[in-house]
Amino acid sequence: MDLEYKQEDIRFREEVRQFFQEHLPKELSEKVRNRRHLKREDAVRWHKILAGKGWIAPGWPVKYGGTGWSAMQRHIWAEEYALAYAPPTLSFGLNLLAPVLLGFASEEQKQHFLPRIYNAEDWWCQGYSEPGAGSDLAALQTRAVREGEHYIVNGQKTWTTLGQHADWIFCLVRTSTEGARQTGISFLLIDMKTPGITVRPIIMLDETHEVNEVFFDNVKVPVANLIGEENKGWTYAKYLLGHERTGIAAIGNSKRELKVLKRLAKRKQLDGRPLLDDPCFAARIADTEIELMALEMTALSLVADGASSKIGPEASMLKIKGTEISQEISQLLLEAAGPAGQAFDPQYLKGEKEHCASGDDDLAALAAHYFNLRKITIFGGSNEVQRNVISKMILGL
Ligand SMILES: Cc1cc2nc3c(=O)[nH]c(=O)nc-3n(C[C@H](O)[C@H](O)[C@H](O)COP(=O)(O)OP(=O)(O)OC[C@H]3O[C@@H](n4cnc5c(N)ncnc54)[C@H](O)[C@@H]3O)c2cc1C
């Protein structure tokens, strides 16, 4: 395993940095830096800039618009992306659905959907979870009954992230009730404009509209929108989840946030001393940094072994550790900010006014950020469930 950066990697990092300096709109990076809410048009604008450069889908095969970068280059890209405060890309289409399409869809489906994802023509959302099916996803009950060349879909999805913006939803639906629960599930693409679909917002504690309930009432979906084989959807679903979990580890983001934390901990508190002078607090930062370095080494060794796209216990390991570290940093940030970090100014966060009430624009979202990050140990399969996955795959328990 060779973890040294090669000359070409160093040159690549420079090229990426320069691109961000020249092409990432300042107003977008400032929004990300101050943790303010991004709008649909912000996300689409940035997506199109990356697509124009040919860098929107690094993990895809070159034939469909991928960059052909090595795994190490992709790692560097992700790190520089976070450091530049670039807005997140439209992940549901690019990073979750696309691998499933590439692996299991017909050539016709690939030719139709992949370019539309690439060019931000379709905004996708994920229809996996249901009120009675989260960790136990195979309990899902949304039914798709075949009638000629259509499926008739009835049921409900929940926690559908950004479904209010979506043009399409990829859904797990039940097409059979015979045999094991996993063998009666199919993977269906549904146009959100189809009659019978209702999207109802779930408003979060911090007043954001991030998640939704989606209801299907006799929704008519062409059989041509089935991915792969009927009743084989569980295989595709698990494949997709592996990609989701690896992405949630967010190592680049944590490295960036750790820098912010160290800067903040050097600021003087009300008693005139910086929190970094407190040996206990300094030790907590050091512990977190060591954990993060260990996580990065693990991720890099997977990259070096060419195993970064392997969907196994590695994805669960990265998810657990990455999310725990992100949460710990958010806790330390809040403590380091002191009273200024307690501010909550939703109008500022939503972009309805230029500056926050407290005057500390960079700290105004820390509390909301702290609470919002509680979700990351839940979604993409909760961390408790990831521990079960690891024990099953490695220990055979
Ligand atoms: C902010 C947010 C966004 C989301 N976005 C989406 C989305 O876009 N699309 C989508 O389909 N889903 C989405 N989800 C849903 C997410 O995947 C589920 O919340 C998650 O899988 C957990 O399911 P649940 O909420 O039903 O909790 P439950 O499954 O009811 O779990 C409750 C608790 O019990 C624990 N638990 C359950 N089973 C076990 C077990 N076997 N062993 C040990 N502990 C266990 C869990 O860890 C958890 O702590 C989102 C969730 C959140 C919070």
| Alpha carbon distances (Å) from 346 to 200, 203, 207 | 21, 13, 7
* pLDDT digit string, tens, across residues 237-266: 988 887 777 778 899 999 999 999 999 999
Q: Is there an atom of ligand 1 within 6 Å of 91 CB?
A: no
Q: What percent of the chain has pLDDT over 90?
A: 76
pLDDT at residue 244, as a whole number:
74
Mean pLDDT taken over the chain: 93
pLDDT digits 0-9 by tens, 328-346: 999 999 999 988 888 888 8
Nearest atom (ligand 1) to Cα of 136:
29
* Closest approach atom of ligand 1 to CA 161: 8
Question: pLDDT by residue (tens digit) across 39-60?
Answer: 999 999 999 999 999 999 998 9
Instruction: Say if residue 304's pLDDT is above 80.
Output: no
Does the Cβ of 160 fall within 6 Å of ligand 1?
A: yes
Average pLDDT over residues 161-167: 97
Is residue 124 lining ligand 1, measured as CB closer than 6 Å?
Answer: no
pLDDT recorded at residue 309: 52
Which of 123, 159, 377, when mutated, tests ligand 1's pocket best, judged by the most ligand atoms within 8 Å of its CB?
Answer: 159
Element housing 258 (H / E): helix 251-265
The response to whether residue 212 sits with its C-beta less than 6 Å from ligand 1 reads no
Q: Where residue 3 falls among pLDDT bands split at 50, 70, 90?
A: low
Q: Ligand 1 pocket, 381 CB below 6 A?
A: yes
The predicted model gives 98-125 an average pLDDT of 97
Q: Can you name the residues that pair with 143 across neighbouring β-strands?
A: 154, 174
For residue range 353-383, list pLDDT tens digits in order. Answer: 888 888 888 888 999 999 999 999 999 899 9
Domains annotated on the chain, with CATH: 7-89 (no CATH), 123-232 (2.40.110.10), 249-395 (1.20.140.10)
Average confidence (pLDDT) over 58-72: 93
Mean pLDDT score, 85-97: 95
CB 319 within 8 A of CB 250: no
pLDDT band at 305 (very low <50, low <70, confident <90, very high): low
Measured by CA distance, the residue closest to atom 41 of ligand 1 is 385
Q: Which long-range CB contacts under 8 A does 12-17 form with residues at least 24 apart?
A: 12/69, 12/73, 12/76, 13/76, 13/80, 16/76, 16/77, 16/80, 16/81, 17/80, 17/84
2 confidence band (pLDDT: 50, 70, 90): low
Contact 299, 308 (CB under 8 A): yes
Compute the distance from residue 174 Cα to the ligand 1 centre, in Å.
Answer: 19
CA–centroid distance, 379 to ligand 1, in Å, is 6
Distances (CA, A) of 112 to 45, 116, 122, 237: 22, 7, 11, 21
Ligand 1 center from residue 381 Cα (angstroms): 6
128 C-beta closer than 6 A to ligand 1: yes
**Which residue has the least CA distance to atom 26 on ligand 1?**
134
Question: pTM for the complete prediction?
Answer: 0.93
Closest CA relative to residue 257, chosen from 316, 345, 334: 334
Split at pLDDT 50, 70, 90, the class of 311 is low
**135 C-alpha vs ligand 1 centroid, how far in Å?**
5
d(CA 160, CA 361): 30
Regarding the beta carbon of 72 and ligand 1, being less than 6 Å apart is answered: no
